[in-house]
């Protein structure tokens, strides 16, 4: 298994890092300038979007035939079966497999699931919702219980707050807990996760899974950038990614979720930098102190992201929307930024460790078996030998993510800002995006 998440540092860049950062900032400013021109023309033609948040329901291209297939009971059952087969294999290797790095459970959890959930959701929509074993088990238990509403109702004020804590809990397991490469802790975490999801799903219904399951929330948020959308009536349509993202409604805890997702990537980038290693590997610092420092940093960085983002959005010019509501209103603009950083930071890790996991999956017991014909498959280290190409892809992913974030924020701003603040009112948010770009690229190439 490849232990480090990112390969390719600033030495692999074709230009000095300062030039790259300056170019990225220039791309944001040019994008914003073009959007400003569009806004002025729209205002002159009185084509500004409605400021009523409830009116957000962008059109799409109907897909009636495909919709009938994906909404059919047979299609749903197929992916439920696929999910349960994968789950059965997962349980098998978790309890009968070797307790070493060759056990595919680690790659399935940290690589295929946690990292792979982003590209798969971008391509196919909310994939975890389709194959989640927790959803399948809850559906079975609900069917046995009989028709009717769940016994309890999940309070709306909770929103996405439960998911923010479960996402942080998984990030802690992956990034901070020192024994995260042993079977025992991974089995325990996933067993507790599954038990909570099943119990909550039975008591509160599917709403609990939609707002608490870290993998489903992560997948569903990322899927808003896919081309697959739904109308208000639930019909399948094809949309532009930003049009699809605009259907995401603000809810309590949404800012916390995007801050945790972005902040943990920032932490993961910075913990591999020489500056951070000098702190935690200082001979004068004990192991327990270094562990405490890592825990504090994992919590502090999402809080810092949330504070910086909230300040930038609340300084934005307002009309009828209260300032305290603006962070949640504009939070969807963080989703493309998160997706960009996932591609930039985890691309080589996903490629190399994902292939290694596929190879190990054929022989999980270490007996020389070849269950899937991949036991002798070589692992490609393409990106390790093409550092400059990887560095360019990383920069491009970050820039594209931020440009789409600015674009998404602009679309939202047209809906929530008064006409007199449509341009000037977006400047604080633009400065926030520039700050994320500068800081993110610096940390990404700090190692």
Q: What is the pLDDT of residues 371-405, one digit of tens each?
A: 999 999 988 888 888 888 888 888 888 888 988 88
The answer as to whether 73 is a domain residue is: yes
The answer as to whether 1 is a domain residue is: no
Percent of the chain, pLDDT > 70? Answer: 88
206 and 290 in a single domain? The answer is: no
Q: What letter would DSSP give residue 156?
A: G
The whole-angstrom separation of Cα 47 and Cα 159 is 33
Of 10-19, 71-80, 303-312, 427-436, the range with the lowest mean pLDDT is 10-19
309 and 414 in a single domain? The answer is: yes
**Tell me, what's the pLDDT at 442?**
78
290 and 393 in a single domain? The answer is: yes
Query: Domain residues for 144?
Result: 63-248
**Tell me, what's the pLDDT at 440?**
77
| Mean pLDDT value across residues 275-291 | 82
Q: How confident is the model at residue 439 (pLDDT cuts 50, 70, 90)?
A: confident
Cα 282 → chain centroid? 33
Residue 180 sits at φ, ψ, to 5 deg, of -75, -5
Neighbours of 354 (CB within 10 A): 19
String of DSSP letters for 228-284 = EEE-TT--EEE--HHHHHTTPPP-TTHHHHHHHHHHHHHHHHHTTSHHHHHHHT-TT
Domain boundary among 204, 225, 248: 248
Q: pLDDT tens-digit profile of 180-227? A: 999 999 999 999 999 999 999 999 999 999 999 999 999 999 999 999
**Tell me, what's the pLDDT at 387?**
81
- Asked whether the predicted pLDDT for residue 48 surpasses 50, the reply is no
Residues 6+ positions from 435 with CB-CB distance below 8 Å: 308, 312
The whole-angstrom separation of Cα 357 and Cα 12 is 27
315 and 241 in a single domain? The answer is: no
Q: How many domains does the chain have?
A: 2
Tell which phi-psi region holds residue 409, choosing left (phi > 0), alpha (psi between -120 and 50) or beta.
alpha
Q: How confident is the model at residue 134 (pLDDT cuts 50, 70, 90)?
A: very high
Nearest to residue 360, comparing CAs of 40, 352, 139, 149? 352
Higher pLDDT, 342 or 56: 342
Neighbours of 113 (CB within 10 A): 19
Higher pLDDT, 42 or 116: 116
269 and 233 in a single domain? The answer is: no
The answer as to whether 52 is a domain residue is: no
Give the CA angle between residues 79, 80, 81 to the nearest 5°. 85
Give the tokens for residue 103. Answer: 């056990």
Q: pLDDT tens-digit profile of 163-187? A: 999 999 999 999 999 999 999 999 9
Is there a contact between 435 and 24 (Cβ–Cβ < 8 Å)?
A: no
| Mean pLDDT value across residues 112-124 | 95
220 and 352 in a single domain? The answer is: no
The answer as to whether 384 is a domain residue is: yes
The answer as to whether 364 is a domain residue is: yes
């Amino acid at each position: 298994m490849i232990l480090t998440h990112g390969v390719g540092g600033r030495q692999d860049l074709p230009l000095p890092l300062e030039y790259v950062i300056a170019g990225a900032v220039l791309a944001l400013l040019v994008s914003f300038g073009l959007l400003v021109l569009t806004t002025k023309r729209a205002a002159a033609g009185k084509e500004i979007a409605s400021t009523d948040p409830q009116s957000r329901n962008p059109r799409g291209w109907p897909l009636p035939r495909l919709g009938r297939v994906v909404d059919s009971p047979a299609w749903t059952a197929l992916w439920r079966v696929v999910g349960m087969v994968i789950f059965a294999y997962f349980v098998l290797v978790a309890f009968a497999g070797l307790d070493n790095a060759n056990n595919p459970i680690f790659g399935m959890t940290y690589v295929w699931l946690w990292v792979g959930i982003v590209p798969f959701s971008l391509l196919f929509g909310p994939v975890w919702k389709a194959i989640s074993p927790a959803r399948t088990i809850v559906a079975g238990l609900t069917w046995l219980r009989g028709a009717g509403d769940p016994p309890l109702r999940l309070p709306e004020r909770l929103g996405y707050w439960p998911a923010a804590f479960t996402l942080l809990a998984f990030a802690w397991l992956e990034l901070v807990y020192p024994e995260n490469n042993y079977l025992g802790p991974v089995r325990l975490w996933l067993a507790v996760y599954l038990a909570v999801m099943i119990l909550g799903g039975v008591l509160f219904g599917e709403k609990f899974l939609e707002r608490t399951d870290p993998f489903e929330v992560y997948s569903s948020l990322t899927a808003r950038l896919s081309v697959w959308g739904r109308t208000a009536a639930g019909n399948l349509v094809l949309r532009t990614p930003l049009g699809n993202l605009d259907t995401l409604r603000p809810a309590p805890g949404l800012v916390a979720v995007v801050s945790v997702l972005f902040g943990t990537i920032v932490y993961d980038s910075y913990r591999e930098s020489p500056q951070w290693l000098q702190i935690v590997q200082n001979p004068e610092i004990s192991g327990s102190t270094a562990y405490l420092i890592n825990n504090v940093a994992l919590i502090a960085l999402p809080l810092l992201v949330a504070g910086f983002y909230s300040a930038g959005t609340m300084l934005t010019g307002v009309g009828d929307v209260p300032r305290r509501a603006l962070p949640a209103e504009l939070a969807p603009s963080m989703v493309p930024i998160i997706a960009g950083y996932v591609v930039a930071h985890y691309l080589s890790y996903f490629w190399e460790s994902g292939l290694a996991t596929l190879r190990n999956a054929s022989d999980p017991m270490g007996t020389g078996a070849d269950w899937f014909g991949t036991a002798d498959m070589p692992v490609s280290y393409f990106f390790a030998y093409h550092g400059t190409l990887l560095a360019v892809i990383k920069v491009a992913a970050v820039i594209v993510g931020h440009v789409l974030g600015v674009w998404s924020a602009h679309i939202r701003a047209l809906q929530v800002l008064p006409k007199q603040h449509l341009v000037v009112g977006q400047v604080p948010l633009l400065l926030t995006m520039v700050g994320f770009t500068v800081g993110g690229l610096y940390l990404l190439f700090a190692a």
